[in-house]
Amino acid sequence: MTARGWVVFAVMMVGLVAMFVVYGLTRDPNATSRVKPDIVVREGDTVRVAVETVLKGYDKDSGEADKAFKHRICEVSGFVAGLSVNWLSEPVVKLAESRTSRKTVTLIFQASQADWVNQFSRGDAITAVGICQGYDRRQGIRFKQCEIAVSRTGAQR
């Protein structure tokens, strides 16, 4: 390699190191644009809502619905429209407003809730508590870290 090639290489390496230093100094890991809170409500403050209300809220104005539900603990009631398991082996329940409705929200349960979730079948009424993740074009309205609040027999867990 010629002397000029070494100089170009050295300048490129100094530039690369400078980029990492500037990034490290300017990056704020706690910036709100980078870190989304799991829950933005006070302890003990749970939104109790029917699936119908969530669906209508997101159909009418998704921005306002996000303000009301997103990143909040919600107790959601509805009818089971479908059961499955995601790629992380977490039970997934599609919840509808009625037994014949096609519009659903997705409840992603914790793996520890699998035995409870497997007891349900299509058409059963359930109430679950989870954190609303809002609306996503590909996945619809989702709730994560869900737990069964009331079983189909009405008995609380």
Does pLDDT of 155 surpass 60? Answer: no
Asked if residue 144 and residue 119 are part of one domain, the reply reads: yes
54, 96: one domain? yes
Picking from 69, 65, 92, the residue whose alpha carbon sits closest to that of residue 81 is: 92
Q: 146: number of CA atoms within 13 Å, CB side? A: 29
- Please state the rounded mean pLDDT for residues 102-107: 88
> DSSP of the chain, one letter per residue?
--HHHHHHHHHHHHHHHHHHHHHHHH--TT-TTT---S--S-TT--EEEEHHHHHHHHHH-HHHHHHHHTTSEEEEEEEEEEEEE-TTS-EEEEEESSTT---EEEEEE-GGGHHHHTT--TT-EEEEEEEEEEEETTTEEEEEEEEEEE-TTS-B-
Summarize the confidence of residues 80-106 as an average pLDDT. 87
For residue 84, the enclosing domain spans 47-150
Percent of the chain with pLDDT over 90: 20
pLDDT digits (tens, 9 = 90+) for 44-67: 577 888 888 888 889 898 888 888
In a domain, 53, yes or no: yes
Instruction: Flag whether pLDDT at 36 surpasses 90.
Output: no
Is 40 inside any structural domain?
A: no
Average pLDDT, the chain: 81
The CA distances from residue 140 to 55, 59, 100, 103, 137, in Å, are 10, 11, 18, 10, 6
Q: Quick one: pLDDT at residue 44? A: 55
In a domain, 90, yes or no: yes
110-125: pLDDT as tens digits: 888 888 888 888 888 8
pLDDT recorded at residue 142:
92
Q: Are residues 85 and 109 in the same domain?
A: yes
State the Cα–Cα distance between residues 89 and 70, nearest whole angstrom.
24
Which tokens sit at 22? Answer: 């500037």
Number of domains making up the chain = 2
Query: CB-hemisphere CA count at 13 Å for 111?
Result: 5
Q: Do 102 and 58 reside in the same domain of the chain? A: yes
CATH number at residue 82: 2.40.50.140
- Which range, 45-49, 129-133, 153-157, has the best average confidence (pLDDT)? 129-133
Domain contains 42: no
Task: Reply yes or no on whether the pLDDT at 150 is more than 60.
Answer: yes
Q: What is the mean pLDDT of residues 147-154?
A: 67
